[in-house]
Structure 1
């Protein structure tokens, strides 16, 4: 039976670590995609469009593969909380999120570059941030350095202490790759999991 290569169109260490949980051999590559939202585009639409674009962006290099693209947008309504990049921006984001519910919408696309068939699913997780003091925010940012995470918080690490609760169907979606949805997609392509 023909087993296509599995490609993760991401260089995110978080997505790579999540995909390793499935025990499948895979390769990673960087998709060259402009991640800026389109004018008037909702956060949900941005995440889903970018997941597809990332998978398709590398298809020319892998003509017989299953390619995984994923993107996450953290938002409250139409207000987005992107990767902060600096400690100052992370602190400002956490101040804004303190006491509020933030939706982390993570989209995953599985693109079969041989057949052109793609599957797409968006998985929202809502995280309720507790009321945070300025000292807590600063200590957290200093200790965990969440500068490369949408919303400036790593729920898989110390960031879990910032939350009152989380609501969603797949806790891995909050980290950046919804494994329940992805497993379903891979099984639809004939990949045996487990």
Structure 2
């Protein structure tokens, strides 16, 4: 293990969900928002997009914090091999939920942990299988008005009322669906030299 336990930890993300999740590990950390273009490349598979963006975010922030251990993460929902992003608007969220109704959606959550000073670079991917119930328009409208998940990949917050839209979640890293796979994060932070319980 690398002896870098005194190095600062930086989360390269503007997501409040990732901040809340990382705080569970009990380590002090800073937040720095990466400026990364999240536009998919032509023909880019959802898992490849998530992995590329997670690495790009980590490296962008690491350039500003070369002595720190930096976490980058990205999530892309996948349906029929196509990426589904954050809806941003009510109309797009309705369209996403109608499309996902009664279907299985894969959420690809990629993670990168890097430290420029030591040359550490670790990458992981958590794939979460989410089975949506068959939803009618009334359920969709009531849910969206109640929770307004327009900043969430796939238009549903599984940690909130969105759980009522689902039949099942299949994952080996339970927080991955919320946006940061903490089992994998802890593993990479330990590998980078940080001390966790």
Structure 2 gap segments, 5+ residues each? none
Q: Which of 119, 132, 137 is matched with 2:135 structurally?
A: 132
What RMSD, in angstroms, separates the aligned Cα atoms of the two structures?
0.9
Look up the match of 1:111: 114
Look up the match of 1:4: 7
Normalising by structure 1, report the TM-score: 0.98
In the alignment, is residue 187 of structure 1 matched against residue 183 of structure 2? Answer: no
Counterpart secondary structure, 1:58: helix
Aligned length: 194
What are the superposed Cα offsets for residues 109-157 of structure 1, whole Å, 9 maximum, x if unpaired? 0001212221000001010000001100000000000000000000000
What are the superposed Cα offsets for residues 76-120 of structure 1, whole Å, 9 maximum, x if unpaired? 132221100001100110000000000000000000121222100
Look up the match of 1:85: 88
Cα pair 2:77 2:108 within 8 Å, conserved: yes
Q: Distance in 2 between matches of 1:49 and 1:77?
A: 20
> How is 1:1-194 mapped onto 2 (pairs within 5 angstroms)?
2=4, 3-194=6-197
Counterpart secondary structure, 1:50: helix
Normalising by structure 2, report the TM-score: 0.96
Q: How far does residue 61 in structure 1 lie from its aligned partner after superposition?
A: 1.3
